[in-house]
Amino acid sequence: MCGIVGYTGHQKAVDVLLDALSSLEYRGYDSSGISIFEGTKIDTIKSLGRLDQLRERIDSQKKVFSGTCGIGHTRWATHGEPSDVNAHPHTTKKLSLVHNGIIENYVQIRQKLQADGYKFVSRTDTETAAHLLDRLYTGDPMGAIRQLCSFLEGSYAFAVLFWDHPGEVYGVCKGCPLIAAKGKEENFLVSDIPAILPYTRDYVLLEEGDLVKITADSILIQDSEGKEKIPNVQQAQWNMEQAQKGGYPHFMLKEIYEQPKALRDTIHPRIVDGLPDFAIEDSIPDGFWRQFDRISIVACGTAWHAGMLGKGLIERLARIPVECEIASEFRYRSPLLDRRTLVILISQSGETADTLAALRLARESGSTTLAVVNVTGSTIAREADYVIHTFAGPEIAVASTKAFSVQLAVMYLIAIKLALAGGRCQPDEARSLIHNLLEAIEATLKVFDLDSAIQKYAQSYVELKDLFFLGRGLDYSLAMEGSLKLKEISYIHCEAYAAGELKHGTISLITPGTPVIALATQDALLSKTLSNVREVISRGAEILLLCKDTFTPESELAGKCILLPALDDLFMPFVGVIALQLLAYHTAVFRDCDVDKPRNLAKSVTVE
Residue pair 69/43 in contact (Cβ under 8 Å)? The answer is no
Residue pair 396/255 in contact (Cβ under 8 Å)? The answer is yes
Radius of gyration in angstroms for the set of CA atoms belonging to the chain, rounded to a whole number: 25
What is d(CA 50, CA 409) in angstroms, rounded to the nearest whole number? 30
What is d(CA 478, CA 448) in angstroms, rounded to the nearest whole number? 18
What is d(CA 297, CA 325) in angstroms, rounded to the nearest whole number? 6
Q: Counting beta carbons within 10 angstroms of the beta carbon of residue 338, is it exposed (0 to 12), middle (13 to 18) or buried (19 or more)?
A: exposed
DSSP 19-51: HHHHTTGGG--SEEEEEEEETTEEEEEEEES-H
If one counts every other C-beta atom within 10 angstroms of the C-beta of residue 496, the result is: 25
Residue pair 16/199 in contact (Cβ under 8 Å)? The answer is yes
DSSP 502: G
* AA identity, residue 492: I
What is d(CA 85, CA 426) in angstroms, rounded to the nearest whole number? 41
- Please identify every residue annotated as catalytic: 2, 603
**How far apart, in Å, are the Cα atoms of 321 and each of 86, 292, 333, 387?**
39, 10, 19, 21
What is d(CA 436, CA 443) in angstroms, rounded to the nearest whole number? 10
Distance of CA 180 to the CA centre of its chain: 25
DSSP 525: G
What is d(CA 18, CA 364) in angstroms, rounded to the nearest whole number? 45
Residue pair 2/33 in contact (Cβ under 8 Å)? The answer is no
- Going by DSSP bridges, is the β-strand pair 234-235/202-205 parallel, antiparallel, or unpaired? antiparallel
**How far apart, in Å, are the Cα atoms of 120 and each of 117, 124, 154, 162?**
10, 9, 21, 19
Distance of CA 475 to the CA centre of its chain: 23
3-state class of 197 per DSSP?
Answer: coil
* AA identity, residue 439: E
The phi, psi pair for 251, rounded to 5°, reads -60, -35
The phi, psi pair for 498, rounded to 5°, reads -65, 125
The alpha helices in 281-345, defined as continuous H runs, are 301-318, 327-330
Residue pair 8/215 in contact (Cβ under 8 Å)? The answer is yes
What is d(CA 399, CA 254) in angstroms, rounded to the nearest whole number? 12
Which strand (E) or helix (H) includes residue 162? strand 154-162
